[in-house]
Amino acid sequence: MAGSLQRNVVLVSGGKVDHFAKANPDLMFYEMTMQAVREAVTDLGLKPKEFRSLLKERGGVVITHFADHFAGQLLGEALTRDYLGLNPVEAYRVVGGGATGGLGVQAAIEKVASGRADIVLAVGYEKMSEVDTFQGNEFIALASDTVTDFPNGGFYPLYYAAMAQAYLDTFVGKTVSAKDLRAAFSKIAVLMRNNAQYNRRAQTSHENPYATASTSGFITVDQVEQSGIVATPSYRLDCCLMTDGASAIIVATEELAKEFTSKPVRVTGLGNGTDCMRTGERPRLQGGLVKENLLLPHELNDPERRAYYESLVYPGLHSFRAGRWAAKKAYEMAGIHTDPLEYFDLIEIHDAFVISVVQTMEDLGMVPYGHACHLFNELPVKDGKVPINPKVGGERGLYVNPSGGLIGQLHGVGATGNTQAVDVLWQMQGRIEEKYGHAETQVPNVERALFHSHAGTGSDITVTTVEKGW
């Protein structure tokens, strides 16, 4: 059973720090959250005192940040509440690796759906620049098993390189060639980075005053493959960013939301999946998708795909079982029975590395396992670039990460999943030119969308589906 929401819940307004940055020396973490929350509250049409009173009387707060190590501050959520003037109020922190922000947004939705609150502020942040990049990678690597994996070089670029290699070993020569897979990886990197050039807040945007020369501006396919190997087969430009940033979203009951917006976005489905932290403990079962009852509704009605999955070893390292579980639960709650590639207009997914885009598209059931690269290889290349914000999958397809994703916009871990929710909200409200500073990545007429958040090597994953509420 996927469960249900006891009350209708909508996304009402959102906000972000003015600029995501590798290092934003001008702002403490709680000052970044203030920028994000101020924007979300302003969009409600409320004064700060009015919003505080509303939260105290009818609402609550969910705060997300991943690692106390980065800011050197335990209980940073308390300092955040203090700085925002949100005391006394019902509040708590949610944490779950890279899925921290997504879990926080789902917790806020559940709090409203349960009847415990009518309105909830979900705010996430990360201040990652207080340490250098190597130390930051080490801190993140502490989210792997510190007894067995971390001492053996368990940094996340290595984990994802291993997954990319496992994908190659599983599917090359069967569903895709090595050349086509590499071409897809490079196109994904270019797509994300170049979409971000039309998002003035993005860490890589050439308009961002905090952007660094080595990580900003448009890129080409050739530049990706000349950017240097991080861990075979991954290049530097295949990888996401470490970010200072904050994001906030406000969710409410459908009734209360009518007081603040004429364009609410209604939540239809929530899914949260898990898997073993140690990837070596994940099963490798022939026909695992079928045996573990992980076929999606549109796959159950496809005998050819079912037969293929009965022969496929799953999940192993080539796929995220937690992602498939989360998608299945969210689709069941939302009543989605058709091909999700055709059903959704827009998705914002966690692209920590280009391989994770391929894996996630398959986990979400957009294409059969082993085939996602074909979606991106259909994109034309001109002067080394793919089109800005193209429809992936042709006319029946959808838009993927118009914001620039983690590769182009940010990966400030505790803020990332929250930011994806804000991006979807703004897209559906038609506010991209206002919020990004450019109209080029505005998706027309978004009726249904999905945002997805991911932790570690797939130990915790969230999928949230939404639809136009007006």
Going by their DSSP bridges, the two strands 346-348 and 391-392 should be labelled as: unpaired
Percent of the chain clearing pLDDT 70 (strictly above): 100
Q: Is residue 270 part of a domain?
A: no
Task: Say what the pTM is.
Answer: 0.97
Q: Is residue 143 part of a domain?
A: no
The parent domain of residue 108 ranges over: 9-131+243-253
Question: Mean pLDDT lowest for which of 26-35, 80-89, 277-286, 443-452?
Answer: 277-286
Q: What confidence category does residue 468 fall into, taking pLDDT thresholds of 50, 70 and 90?
A: very high
The rounded distance, in Å, linking the Cα atoms of 216 and 214 is 6
Q: What confidence category does residue 432 fall into, taking pLDDT thresholds of 50, 70 and 90?
A: very high
Q: Is residue 327 part of a domain?
A: no
Q: Are 243 and 128 in contact (CB under 8 A)?
A: yes
Question: Mean pLDDT lowest for which of 193-197, 210-214, 288-292?
Answer: 210-214
Q: Is residue 289 part of a domain?
A: no
Q: Is residue 76 part of a domain?
A: yes
Bigger pLDDT: 2 or 387?
387
Q: Are 249 and 14 in contact (CB under 8 A)?
A: yes
When divided into structural domains, the chain yields a total of 1
Question: Mean pLDDT lowest for which of 144-158, 283-297, 383-397?
Answer: 144-158
Q: Is residue 114 part of a domain?
A: yes
Q: What is the mean pLDDT of the chain?
A: 96
Q: What confidence category does residue 155 fall into, taking pLDDT thresholds of 50, 70 and 90?
A: confident
**Predicted local confidence at residue 169, as pLDDT:** 96
Q: What confidence category does residue 139 fall into, taking pLDDT thresholds of 50, 70 and 90?
A: confident
- pLDDT digits over 6-56, tens only? 999 999 999 999 999 999 999 999 999 999 999 999 999 999 999 999 999
Q: Is residue 189 part of a domain?
A: no
**Predicted local confidence at residue 1, as pLDDT:** 64
Residue 320, token pair as written in the block: 């995220």
Q: Is residue 286 part of a domain?
A: no
Instruction: Give the residue from 366, 385, 382 showing the smallest Cα distance to 374.
Output: 366
**Predicted local confidence at residue 149, as pLDDT:** 80
Q: What confidence category does residue 71 fall into, taking pLDDT thresholds of 50, 70 and 90?
A: confident
Q: Tell me, what CATH number does 74's domain have?
A: 3.40.47.10
Residue type, 263: K
Q: Are 321 and 273 in contact (CB under 8 A)?
A: yes
Q: What confidence category does residue 3 fall into, taking pLDDT thresholds of 50, 70 and 90?
A: confident
**Predicted local confidence at residue 362, as pLDDT:** 98
Question: Mean pLDDT lowest for which of 57-66, 206-215, 330-339?
Answer: 206-215
